[in-house]
Chain A
Amino acid sequence: MNTGLELQDVSLSVGSRQLLSLSCTIAPGEVMTVMGASGTGKSTLLAFIAGFLNEAFTAEGRIVLENKALNSVPAEQRRIGLLFQDALLFPHLSVAENLKFGLVRTAGESRKDRDGRVEQALEAISLGGFGDRDPASLSGGQQSRISLMRLLLSEPQAILLDEPFSNLDMQLRGEIRALTFDSIRAANIPALLVTHDLADAQAAGGKILAL
């Protein structure tokens, strides 16, 4: 039974100045939005949850995901995914290799099976056959879709989104936004969205927290 992502009495400070404090629970399939001006600590919050808090900041409070406390768990074992503003496909790997990077291995699976899964995933986002391509040769929209798919293939238990749509033009934004939220709902995992665009927050459809 998925219990979602819980933030218990989380408080972030830099030096003696407190940046933010919150407590909340994000249910599976729900996208909670955090909005605020720059410098209010939104990105720091994401960094804290993912496990990359910079030494300049101090944090208190517990992060609980699927009933497991994550505070002392290293970042690579937290099963939390990240989506940034830029697609950030690894430029030295092909599209397929990018997708395979975080692919969770199931027992008894051969390389051919994995390749098959990747190809299936590509077809699901209408990019079948793009496996061998150089990521730099793709358009912005294509890169965003592959970035999202890479994230999903790693089977995260929660997703953090750091203004992922602000670099896309108006046309693409709606399309990618819909794709992203639909995927999150279909995977039934909690997500935390940081943005300063109200339209994003409304499309997310979950709680909105203003800092």
Chain B
Amino acid sequence: MTWATRFLFFVLGAPLLLGSALALAPAFTQTSLVVNSTGQMGQLLPPAFLTLLSTPGIATSAITSLVSGLLTPAISLAIVFLFLAATQGNSIGNAIAKLSAPVLAIPHAAAAFALALLLAPSGVASRVIASLLGWDLPPDYLFINDPNGLALILGLVLKEAPFLLLISLAALPSLGAPRRVALARTLGYKPTTAWLLTVAPVLYPLVRLPLFAVIVFASSAVDVALILGPSLPPTLSVRLLEWFVAPEIESRQLASAAALLQLVVSLSALGIWLLFERVVARAFAPLAARGASRLSARRVTYDTALTALGNALLPLSLAFILIGIGALMLTSVGTEWRYPALVPSVWSTQQWTSALSEWRAPLFNATMIALLSVTAALALSLFMLEAQARSSVSTARIATFLYLPLLVPQVVFISGIAILAERALLRPSLTLVAAGHFLFVLPYVYLTLQGGYARFDTRWLMLARTLGASNTVCFWRIRLPLLSTQLVTAVMLGLAISLSLYLPTQILGAGRIPTLTTEAIALVSSGNRSTIGTWALLQSALPTLCFMLALVLPRLIWSRRKGML
């Protein structure tokens, strides 16, 4: 192991492993108060596991988590690839892709709530239909919180598809897609099919790791599951959280056992996905080698259908979220909005004035934490990347380490880190929370910058050195300015991520460090629609601002240097 991997292991791996160990340990302790069944099994497993396995509906919970962990990435990937295949860099496609960035900025919980606002029986969609059909009372159907988790999957897909889209767009330029497609087209394939057969297979490996992060996230998401997921029984992650915050000691042990189960579920989802990859790879080649029977009607229909889907699905999902945000805005200023009214009947800014008077401390905390964690992540990433560039060490294995915090369910190791901090007598403070955020921000910042480093033309540096600049001067006057776009992107991405984190702030801050996100989610328990709408918008405002800045800043800075854009 090079020193770089060793260092990263210490910074990232140690807290993770220690945290997970401390969080999982209670599951293996003995307790006198847990009621368990007797028999063969009773002698093999610790009591916490027995209780867990005999909890009613635990299998359903686990399976729901597993299924959402598989369907979410599958559907998101399909939407993204179809979109890329159908648009292939035309102007409309580019415009829509640009729209995805601000959608990324909207925190998961806010997007989930927007969706609930749209599709609930008393929601906006139902009211539109009510005004058309003359309904008086809302229909009684179950989609939001449905037992199969469809609403949950939809809510996750709406956020993960733009994420995968942006990763794909970043990876595409190095593939020479237009040439590949052109070649296939000369062989008789229609454009969309051509892209899917020639570009998709080479693009997929480049988005694999982020996809794995999506799998783990989808199988262990908490905030979205709370708002959109089933409740009888809830997903495994929600149950875990419920047990974790329950005051009884037995519940704590149950939570640890459930955390282990959650790990198993997430890893199984990954395993099944890997199996699926093999199957697809095997089936793919014969499919592609079947040749393009020229202009057969069925092929043309397939292609047309795929193109239509590609052109429609992603814009639709973006529209969904944007309409949902609009609904959030309406709900935040409408104090009387009874079913089946389409718009509120009484408007007031009361929610906003009371929210804004309370937002100073959460805003300050959120900003400070974000700045601290991102600065640390930026400094560390630049240090490591620069050191590696100068010694030309291979960086491939580092990426795997970086994904560690994203591949272990948050709730599992954050609680352990909290215990670690307790033992070290570290009081819940801004710095401690920032340290927790740092673990999640570092991977994204590092990977964004690593892309910049990988694509960096080393001749710039050679020229600068021959002109008399030392390594340090090169770094500050050549490397950093030429990486400025990636730097801005990395910083804004890091800020947006830190601003929307919930569990780390809540657990490491012991509830003493309110941020916009914790306040928003704390108010979800109050259920008041307009309050939630207001805070969800507040929570989304900062990250969205960050993304706008990421787009606009480079243009502003380098307005007089066209070569930089």
Q: A-side interface residues toward B, CB under 8 Å? A: 47, 50-52, 54-55, 74-78, 80-82, 84, 86, 88-92, 101-102, 104, 134-137, 150-151, 154, 156
**Which residues of chain A are within 8 angstroms of B560 by Cβ–Cβ distance?**
134
Tell whether A84 pairs with B564 under 8 Å between CB atoms, given A76-B468, A101-B469, A154-B468.
Answer: no
Residue A92 contacts which of B391, B463, B469, B561 (CB distance < 8 angstroms)?
Answer: B561
Judge whether A80 and B459 touch: CB under 8 Å.
no
Residues of A within 8 A of B462 (CB): 47, 50, 52, 75, 82
- The B interface is mostly helix, strand or loop, or mixed, namely helix
Q: Which residues of the other chain, B, contact A78 by a CB distance below 8 angstroms?
A: 466
Beta-carbon contact of A90 and B466 below 8 Å = no
Would you call B563 an interface residue if the criterion is a C-beta within 8 Å of the partner chain's C-beta atoms? yes
The verdict on B478 contacting chain A, using a C-beta distance below 8 Å, is yes
Which residues of chain B are within 8 angstroms of A50 by Cβ–Cβ distance?
Answer: 462, 465-466
Contacts of A136 in B (CB 8 A): 561-563
Contacts of B2 in A (CB 8 A): none
Pairwise interchain contact A75-B561, C-beta atoms closer than 8 A: no
Query: Is B460 an interface residue, CB under 8 A from the partner?
Result: yes
Residue B482 interfacial (CB < 8 Å): yes
B32, chain A: closest CB distance, angstroms: 62
A150 / chain B contacts, CB cutoff of 8 Å: 467
Cα-based distance from A70 to B39 in the complex (angstroms): 80
Q: Which A residues touch B459, using CB under 8 A? A: 84, 86, 88
Query: B10 interface residue, CB < 8 Å from A?
Result: no
Report if A90-B460 is in contact (Cβ < 8 Å); known contacts: A137-B562, A150-B467.
yes
A91 touches B561 (CB 8 A): yes
Please list the residues of chain B having a beta carbon within 8 angstroms of any beta carbon in chain A: 391-392, 457, 459-460, 462-471, 477-478, 481-482, 484, 558, 560-564
In the docked arrangement, what's the CA distance between A120 and B366, Å?
54
* Nearest B residue to A97, CB-CB: B477
Cα distance A2–B227 when bound, in Å? Answer: 79
- Contact partner, B466, options A91, A104, A154, Cβ 8 Å: A154
A-B residue pairs in contact (CB < 8 Å), sample of 21: A47-B462, A50-B465, A52-B465, A74-B470, A75-B465, A78-B466, A81-B466, A82-B462, A88-B457, A90-B464, A90-B482, A91-B563, A92-B482, A92-B563, A101-B464, A102-B467, A102-B468, A134-B561, A137-B562, A150-B467, A154-B468
Contact call B466/A134, Cβ cutoff below 8 A: no
What is the distance, in angstroms, from B413's C-beta to the closest C-beta of chain A?
A: 37
Complex: A81 Cα to B477 Cα, angstroms: 19
A91 to B456 Cα, complex, angstroms: 13
CA distance A81 to B561 in the complex (A): 25
Contacts A134-B560, A136-B562, A136-B563: A92 and B481 contacting too (C-beta < 8 A)?
Answer: yes
In the complex the two chains form, is A90's CB within 8 Å of B478's CB?
Answer: yes
B478: chain A residues at CB < 8 Å are 90
The residue in chain B whose Cβ has the minimal distance to the Cβ of A102 is: B467
CA distance A193 to B82 in the complex (A): 50
- Known contacts A76-B465, A88-B459, A92-B564, then 19 further A-B pairs from the complex at CB < 8 Å, ordered by chain A residue: A50-B465, A51-B465, A52-B465, A54-B392, A55-B391, A75-B466, A76-B468, A76-B469, A78-B466, A81-B466, A90-B460, A90-B464, A90-B482, A101-B464, A102-B467, A102-B468, A102-B469, A134-B562, A136-B563
| Contact in complex: B470, A88 (CB < 8 Å) | no
Which of B392, B467, B558, B561 is packed against the most chain A CB atoms within 10 Å?
Answer: B467
Residues of A within 8 A of B463 (CB): 82, 84, 88
State A75–B484 Cα separation when bound (angstroms): 25
CB of B482 within 8 A of CB of A91, answer yes
Give CA–CA (A154, B468) in the complex, Å.
8
A91 near B564 (CB under 8 angstroms)?
Answer: yes
Instruction: Give the docked Cα–Cα distance between A181 and B143 (Å).
Output: 77
Identify the closest chain B residue to A77 (Cβ): B468
B466 touches A76 (CB 8 A): yes
Q: How far is the CA of A81 from the CA of B463 in the complex (A)?
A: 8
A208 to chain B minimum Cβ distance, whole angstroms, is: 24
Q: In the assembly, what is the distance between CA of A81 and CA of B464, in Å?
A: 10
Most buried by B among A52, A77, A91, A135: A91
A77 to B464, CA, bound (A): 12
CA distance A80 to B466 in the complex (A): 6
Residues on the B chain within 8 Å of A80, using CB:
466
Which of A52, A54, A76, A137 has a CB less than 8 Å from the CB of B470? A76
Closest B-chain residue to A80, C-beta based?
A: B466
Chain A residue with Cβ nearest B477? A101
A65 to B560, CA, bound (A): 40
Contacts known (A88-B459, A92-B481, A137-B562); A101 close to B467, Cβ less than 8 A = yes
B457 / chain A contacts, CB cutoff of 8 Å? 88
Docked complex Cα distance between A120 and B369 (Å): 52
Q: How long is the Cα–Cα vector from A81 to B563 in the complex, in angstroms?
A: 24
| Nearest 9 A/B pairs, CB to CB | A102-B467, A91-B563, A136-B563, A136-B562, A92-B481, A75-B465, A82-B466, A76-B465, A154-B467
Chain B nearest CB from A77 CB (Å) reads: 8
Q: How far is the CA of A120 from the CA of B560 in the complex (A)?
A: 24
Residues in A with CB closer than 8 Å to B464 are: 90, 101
B487 → A minimal CB distance (Å): 12
Complex alpha-carbon distance, A146 and B391, angstroms: 31
Q: List the A side residues contacting B482 at CB < 8 Å.
A: 90-92
Expressed in whole angstroms, the Cα–Cα distance for A25 and B563 within the complex equals 40
Residues from chain B with a CB closer than 8 A to the CB of A75 are 462, 465-466
Chain B residues near A47: list those with CB within 8 A.
462
Contacts of A51 in B (CB 8 A): 465
B460 CB contacts on chain A under 8 angstroms = 88, 90
By a CB distance below 8 angstroms, the chain A residues around B558 are 92
